[in-house]
Amino acid sequence: MIQTEKGSFPTISDVLEKVSENLYDIENFVNGKPGFFFLTNVTSKTKRSGGKYYSCVVKDKDSSFNANIWDWPANEDPSSGKIAFSDFSYNNYGLSLKIRKLISLIELRSHIEGIEEAFIPVVPNIEQLKIELMKLIDSVEDSYLRALLNKTISPESGSVKGFFRAPAATKNHHVRIGGLLEHSLRVAKLSIKSVDLLNCPYNRDLLIAGALLHDIGKVFTYEHENYTFEFTDAGMFEEHIVLGIQTLTKAIEKIDGFPPILEQKLFHIVASHHGLKEWGSPIVPRILEAIIIHNCDRLEAQIDAFVEISKSVAKDSNWSEYSSMLGTRVFLSDYEEKND
């Protein structure tokens, strides 16, 4: 709930809680008042009758949900990054909004204390993750890889500052401030545990560097300063694999004597981490470290997607909505019982 001088107003988490209890038979069904909804992924569409409407994803710090916008102020069209003060309803076709007013976060910030914290999902332990990242970087024995990590993503001296604020995706997994840091660190830890368990020969330093840097291009792929998490122009034109290799190329040029074979292997890890050409990689993994990172990357992302989708399922439903990340609907009843 958003607390104001005029009372409490719901956000999407409050709406979804009532939906899960099947309490949505009237407009503004949470407490009889309009809600505040953070708009992302706003797309103009055409009705069968020829009129215009918008689809979007509405968010707060804990939840996100698809919605359709049927009415909005005559002087301003809905756009990503705006807060919609809106009437809302829900039926078998989903969530519908009738926007009364569109407001910027900056404008609301001067009137409602803590408004950004209410709407923007943020990894809760970013400072602790930075400490863990620094320890992992310091454990790298190869001087060239350690220098590269320090020049790019070190909390103390790295040049890619957005690494600590960027999300890891726009909608599939880790869609939150600090999501890229969280995801990259988890992939590195999971990769190390995997090879230790399987007792296979590998280059530990290359594995750590590749895992931490495999998604570095996402810093420049997604908007994060305006909190929309949508694609930048660079992201649309080149995507994160190309942007990642470009970023690492520039950093390596500043490290005297960086071994060409090490550069090739690192670039191969970045280029192949999606695993298959049909999944977006120009090449399939051809070294052990790349195989490990691809599989740990996919596993970690899918687990995060599963956890996130479980938060928006009605309590009387065993099945989620379709997840593009998982490629299916998922069964959640047993999971919910264990986590109540």
In this prediction, residue 113 carries a pLDDT of 74
Going residue by residue through the chain (340 aa), what tens digit of pLDDT does each one get? 888 888 899 999 999 989 888 888 889 999 999 999 999 889 999 998 889 999 998 988 888 889 999 999 999 999 988 999 999 999 888 899 999 999 988 788 777 777 777 888 889 889 999 999 999 999 999 999 999 999 999 988 788 989 998 988 877 777 788 999 999 999 999 999 999 999 888 999 999 999 999 999 999 999 887 777 889 999 999 999 999 999 999 999 999 999 999 999 999 999 999 998 888 899 999 999 999 999 999 999 999 988 888 776 666 678 877 878 888 888 877 665 444 4
Would you give the distance in Å from CA 151 to the centre of its chain?
A: 24
Q: Give DSSP secondary structure letters for 209-266.
A: HHHHHTTGGGGTTB--SSS--PBPHHHHHHHHHHHHHHHHHHHHTTSTT--HHHHHHH
How confident is the model at residue 72, as a pLDDT? 95
Domain range list for the chain? 2-119, 126-307
What is residue 228's predicted lDDT score, i.e. its pLDDT? 75
pLDDT digits (tens, 9 = 90+) for 248-297: 999 999 999 999 999 999 999 999 999 988 888 999 999 999 999 999 99
Extract long-range pairs of 271-278: CB within 8 Å, 24+ residues apart: 271/241, 271/245, 273/214, 273/215, 273/241, 273/297, 274/241
Does domain 126-307 sit in CATH 1.10.3210?
Answer: yes
- List the alpha helices (DSSP H) in the chain: 12-20, 105-109, 115-119, 126-138, 143-152, 179-198, 204-213, 233-252, 260-272, 288-309, 333-339
Residue 337 has what pLDDT? 46
Question: What pTM, to 2 d.p., does this model score?
Answer: 0.80
Q: Give the distance, in angstroms, between the CA of residue 89 and the centroid of all CA atoms in the same chain.
A: 27
In tens, the pLDDT along 41-76 reads 899 999 988 899 999 989 888 888 899 999 999 999
Would you say domain 2-119 falls under CATH 2.60.120? no
Task: Say what the pLDDT of residue 338 is.
Answer: 44
